[in-house]
Amino acid sequence: MAIFNSDLEAIIFIIIITISLIFIDKVISFFLDKSKKVSIQQKNGIYFIIRTISVIIVIFFVLEGFPSFELIDPTYKAILTSVTSTAIAFASSEIFANFMAGFVLIAIGPFDIGDIVKIDTDKGIVRSISMTKVILETFDNIFIVKSNSEVISSKIVNYTTKLRNIKRYVDFKKKVQSPQDKGDIRIKMKTNMDEIVEKNTNLMAFFRSFSRRQNPDLHTYTFRMHFQYEKFRIKLDKVEGLCTKYKKKFGFKPRYNIIGFSSHIIIKFRILSLDPKKILENKPKFTNDLYKIIFSHNM
């Protein structure tokens, strides 16, 4: 038996129910966005549950609310239902796959909005996470839309560290250091114990400064540059000065290590910042300044 007395009544009530659910979703979203105690991952989970329930409610009233559906011959009704179901299944198979992949993303939480990640071969800042897609902004200011099913099947590397989960300086140091940082030998041949102590002291001061903030995240961006052997030491001194200059812009002095030798010297640079926007804004200029040093002949 249909829930409503007429089709017109069903249409009116379904419209009212849909508008009410949208309004409730907007109100809850407003208060969640204002709340600083709820993490982005928790917000995404709440949004997912609310919108899933809303869709189920609307579908239920559409299927059970129209009296005219009761007048259709059971045979034709079964055929119509089968055809409709098949059509919907084909049309929504990709959507459903993305929908379920979105549920998996929210459940495992490999990244949050604002994290710097590498999905397959694309590296950038996560700008949006929805039930069907993820939007990534690269460091070339290009927005890439990836379906959730594509994200789930790709290799994901998250370069953002949730500092709220780190209580000890030793654990923080392990997160900050790259594999090339292990040991006491550094890229500069002039490095001695005093420089090592100074480096670790600055690192500890940085750790203490952010540990008092509310739910901070440490964002990392790494890239490689090729240096010529000619005048390498002179150019390296210029690089050191450049990294010191960009300390104020990133909030932390960029680090660098030699990671290989071939026809060129390969150096890996590592940028750290509490604000991903600072990396997005300053990294292109920093890279350009490095190119000027590498290809400079007036040294």
How many angstroms separate the Cα of 218 from the Cα of each of 206, 207, 278, 298? 11, 10, 12, 37
What three-state secondary structure class fits 114? coil
Stretch 147-171: mean pLDDT: 79
| Architecture of the structural domain at 161-294 | 2-Layer Sandwich (3.30)
Model confidence at 241: pLDDT above 50: yes
- Among 48-62, 165-179, 182-196, 262-276, the range with the most confident prediction by mean pLDDT is 262-276
Range with the poorest average pLDDT among 161-165, 182-186, 210-214, 250-254: 182-186
Residue spans per domain, the chain: 7-108, 116-157, 161-294
Of residues 88 and 29, more confidently modeled? 29
Sheet strands side by side (includes 217-227): 160-162, 217-227, 265-273, 255-261
Q: What does the pLDDT look like over 35-82, one tens digit per residue?
A: 766 666 667 667 777 877 887 888 788 777 777 776 766 676 667 666
Classified by CATH at the fold level, domain 116-157 comes out as SH3 type barrels. (2.30.30)
Model confidence at 162: pLDDT above 60: yes
pTM over 0.75: no
Count Cβ neighbours within 10 Å for each residue of 191-208 and write b for 16 or more, e otherwise: eeeeeeeebeeebeebbe
Model confidence at 197: pLDDT above 80: no
Within 8 A by CB and 6+ apart from 258, the residues are 180, 187, 265, 266, 267
How confident is residue 183, by pLDDT bands cut at 50, 70 and 90? very low
